[in-house]
Chains A and B, each alone.
Chain A
Amino acid sequence: MSSEILAVSTGLHALVYFVPVIFLSIVGFIILAIGTRNPDKTILSWITFFTLAAGGVLTYLFTPLGTSIFGGTLVFNSFGLYFALIMIISSMFICYPALKGLTAKSEIFYATLLFVTVGMILAAFSYNLITLFISFEAVSIGTYVLASFGKSRRNLEGTVKYFFTGTIATAFVLLGSSFFYLDTGTFNLSILAASKATPEISMALIFLIVGFGFKLAVFPMHQWAIDTYDGTENSVSAFLSAGSKVLAYVVILKVFLLGFSSDFRDVYYLFVILSVLTMTYGNISALSQNNLKRLLAYSSVAQAGYLILVLAVVSSTGNITSGVAGLAIASGMFYSLVYIFMKGGSFIALNSVNHESVELADVSGLARKSPALAVSFAILLLALAGIPLTGGFFAKYLLFLSLIEGGLWWLAVIAILNSAISVFYYFRVIMYMFGRDPVDGQEFDLTGSVKVPVYASASITVVLSLMILWFPAVINIASGLFG
């Protein structure tokens, strides 16, 4: 934290920075209160949707860029703002489709969603391991609640798995933070925090990657994700694999790029190994899946592998302020923006199948029943595979470009081969949708709550490919990471 932007303000005066957070929490409690009157769940979903939209606007308005408060604990910069807005959008995204799975107590679902979003906004602006931990934990606990919103015992199995492993991961984060403090004497994350690589900082590195990598579903901390995504409502899976993952990603970017800038050698090796294993494992496991939800879950593991390639590039340059590092971080940011739409949209598209545990054969003939939905879903899958004319292509494109610019051509080859492998299973889904006849008696749910979000995400994914024109702006935002 360079001192000239430290417009330190403490006390009640700082309350003005928390307007969006306070607003969202208050509405959350109001929703809980309304819930005692058994309101229509559709109304609740709209209230939540517009509250989140207003929260997004407020976050934009009440973020004094370049200010930090509480001695650098919270830093308001465009980097955090970018991710805060992305995560708010991903919460907005599931308001409407979640209606399908809600049978009772819908107010708890929507209030929890708002509280989770509060945690996400705080995490986006936190530059301190303690506040990061608290907001991260707030999100985790909220998502345990969201994940348990289901109907059958099977759903609960996934949730319990998520809860137990999540709790252990929390302990790892705390332990890692303690080691970090032991070495640096501070919880604040800034480029100068750690002076040199010591045994303590290596311990902190390992514990923190286990703790935070758990949420991002990085191999080998991914196993919960498969069962949990499979076991929960489609819209919750969408949220877990989109919003909650982006949160983990922004935390990882901040912790490992700022906090461990003295130990980039170890960060580099760690993330190269993790990313190669994660993408390869995710893609290869997805190949043999016949369960569509598990297929998407494995693909989401693989995507996490691509995302953390960014850390490998940045740490390989050894200098976080270099041009290549800026490009890499910006490509990661762009990737996460596209990612919430393509991944969230594809999970929501599964809502069109009326029963749980969606098999590949269940979507066969979707193109006959609803061509528009099938085409939209296909666009999302093509984006995940990184085929041009979708935002997914440019996301991958910039990522691989930064790999080559960073001189990691062999890593780029591995990533590119992985992306070629992934085409197999994404196209298998497309093949079932377009090439097969519908199963007898199979009825698709083609109501608005299924169609509209999928259409929206597919068109946004395509429009985002034009976003490339504003990519330099993203690079500028990326440089905000440093404070």
Chain B
Amino acid sequence: MLLIFLLTVIFSALSFAINGKRRIFAIVSSAIVLILTIAYSLFRFHGTYASGFQSAASYNLVPSIGITFSLGVSGFSDALLLLSAIVILISLLITEKNKFGNSLYSYILIAETGLYGILISRDFLFFYIFWEVVLIPVYFIIAQYGGKNKDSVSLKFFVYTHIGSVFLLLSIFTVYTFHYEATKIFTFEMSQLMVNRYISQIPVFWRYLAFFGFLLAFLVKMPSFPVHSWLPDTYDASPYPGTVILAGGLSLMGGYGLFGILMPVYSSLGSGILTILIYLGIISLLYFSLAAMMQQSLKRMMAYASAGAMGFVTLSFGAGLIETGYQATLELAGGMFQIVAHGLIMALVFASIYLIRQNTGHEAVHSLGGIFREAPMLSSFLLAGLLASLGLPGLAGFIGEFSILVGVFGAIGWLIIAVVFSMIITASYHIWAAQRSLYGPYNENLGQIHDVTGYQFAVLMGTLIVIFVLGIAPNLIYGMLVSYVGGII
């Protein structure tokens, strides 16, 4: 795995040297990374994976203050590695030739390096570094290629998430310092620091301070209510390749933070924090679905829908850790599956909205209408994405939401009505948007529009196939998620 990671580093560095065909280079290199990651997963995680970490290794850099570079891949992070490789590849594939400057492709490759770094790091120092590294290329993507208000929006995005990050740093220092006081060993290794036996010894105040920092950093990225206000503007102003990365890649970071970093110490979290998380998840679901209903622009609407879907993740994390047994496994694995499914679905949705925008020049629901007549394939792809997003059985979105819904009842009781209610709202505005923009009488003002080209068809179809396959054979990754949960609980 280290080799694959180093390959991403080399590719992103090399991309600066290539001037003429940087787009092709970026696509080829990210495809190579994806293929290698798939091969790696088949090799290490297929069938035999029980739990714990594969390719674990640790390199001592500065032993006296505990700086090491440790890596390891769990079933969960492997699923996310696959997701991020796919999302990055899609975001590169949907760009047209000559539309964007060369630097965009380098930024996307750097973002991929950062995501891989986050997912394989098993020590907090490098985790934090990569956590920040992802922000910089995304910032530049928005600031250089963004839509209206790109200056202020990109700055807001960066500062918002940066504040989350610095609190993460504070938390890391806190656990690091207390670990030193307890054991006289300096270490940043997660395997040493994120251990219940040790975390529960930290004095209450400091423990909650640390958890506050972790949760703030992760919830901002998800994003969850009430730290979401960067989201709509950023998704809106970002160019579409950037939006795909935001929806698939950045929300993945938040989810990984919860399930990959905090889950091993769940019993120190205490039911207080977990209950708060449950409520935050439910409020996110309700609030974002109501907010999405009010949007005119398809892009903004799906931005809120994306945040709403991540509300399921927060909810499942809180509820799954309060409960025990079969239900807990169901919810936790469902929550992690939801992260993966959500990333793929949003990639499909935003990619098709992008093509609609390219072909018609509009993305507001009321300016579209009946485009199925002129662009049947494109409309069908968007419809498929929307259906997957609202959780239609047979597509990937259903698996996660269903297992969360089944499991969560024990933890939240009749509050589940709120969840179901928000799902109904979600379904209704998804259908409404599809109906208004794709079907009905054709809006003649749009003039002559054309359908997808063969190349675009292949890209969208590829994504849809992945979603479909995961929908009918979720065990491809569900199994390793369940094993991962089993290893912790």
Contacts and interface: CB of A to CB of B under 8 A. Distances in A.
Contacts of A413: 170
B173 A468 contact: no
A404 B140 CA distance: 32
A18 interface: no
Contacts of B169: 397, 400, 416
Contacts of B206: 409
Interface string B145-167: 00000110011001100110011
A434 interface: yes
Contact of A424 (B129, B130, B155, B166): B155
Interface stretch (B57-65, B92-100, B324-332, B473-481): B57-65
Nearest to B163: A420
A39 interface: no
A248 to B, nearest CB: 28
A393 interface: yes
Interface in B154-189: 154-155, 158-159, 162-163, 166-167, 169-170, 173-174, 176-177, 180
B174 A431 contact: no
A65 interface: no
A288 to B, nearest CB: 14
B456 interface: no
A409 B139 contact: no
Interface residues of A, number: 31
B10 interface: no
B133 interface: yes
A416 B151 contact: no
A397 B129 CA distance: 11
Interface stretch (A87-95, A381-389, A442-450): A381-389
A355 interface: no
B233 interface: no
Contacts of B295: none
Nearest to B150: A435
Contacts of A17: none
Contacts of A393: 129, 132
B167 A388 contact: no
B155 A468 contact: no
A400 B213 CA distance: 15
B166 A416 contact: yes
A431 B151 contact: yes
A413 B151 CA distance: 27
Contact of A434 (B65, B140, B159, B163): B140
A471 B62 contact: yes
Interface string A392-407: 0100010011001100
A468 B166 contact: no
B136 A387 contact: yes
B144 interface: yes
A469 B133 contact: no
Contacts of B159: 420, 423-424, 427
Nearest to B132: A388
B209 interface: yes
Contacts of B64: 472, 475
B67 interface: yes
Contact of B166 (A419, A428, A475): A419
B193 to A, nearest CB: 14
Contacts of A409: 170, 174, 206, 209
B432 to A, nearest CB: 36
Nearest to B63: A472
Given A419-B166, A472-B65, A404 B158 contact: no
Nearest to B128: A388
A51 to B, nearest CB: 36
A216 B383 CA distance: 63
Nearest to B64: A472
Interface in A217-271: none
Interface string A176-212: 0000000000000000000000000000000000000
A335 to B, nearest CB: 16
Nearest to B160: A420
B143 interface: yes
A472 B62 contact: yes
Given A424-B155, A472-B64, A387 B132 contact: yes
A410 to B, nearest CB: 10
Given A416-B170, A427-B139, A472-B64, A388 B129 contact: yes
B144 A389 contact: no
Interface in A359-401: 382, 387-389, 393, 397, 400-401
Contacts of A428: 155
A412 interface: yes
A416 B129 contact: no
Most buried by B among A327, A404, A468: A404
A469 B61 contact: yes
Given A416-B167, A420-B163, A427-B158, A404 B174 contact: yes
Contacts of A397: 169
Contacts of B136: 382, 387
Contacts of B158: 423, 427
Contacts of B167: 416
A405 B177 contact: yes
Interface in A458-483: 468-469, 471-472, 475
A420 B158 CA distance: 10
A430 B159 CA distance: 14
Contacts of A427: 139, 154-155, 158-159
B166 A434 contact: no
A404 B155 contact: no
A404 B61 contact: no
B147 to A, nearest CB: 12
B129 A389 contact: yes
Nearest to A327: B65
A409 B209 CA distance: 10
A107 B108 CA distance: 50
A237 B263 CA distance: 51
A469 B170 CA distance: 22
Given A419-B166, A435-B143, A412 B154 contact: no
B127 to A, nearest CB: 11
Contacts of B65: 327, 471-472
Nearest to A466: B61
Most buried by A among B64, B65, B67: B65
Given A388-B129, A427-B154, 4 more contacts: A405-B173, A435-B144, A435-B151, A472-B64
8 contacts: A388-B129, A400-B169, A401-B177, A404-B170, A409-B174, A409-B209, A412-B170, A420-B163
Top 8 A-B residue pairs of the complex, sorted by shortest distance between their CB atoms: A404-B173, A388-B129, A416-B166, A388-B132, A472-B64, A420-B163, A435-B143, A405-B177
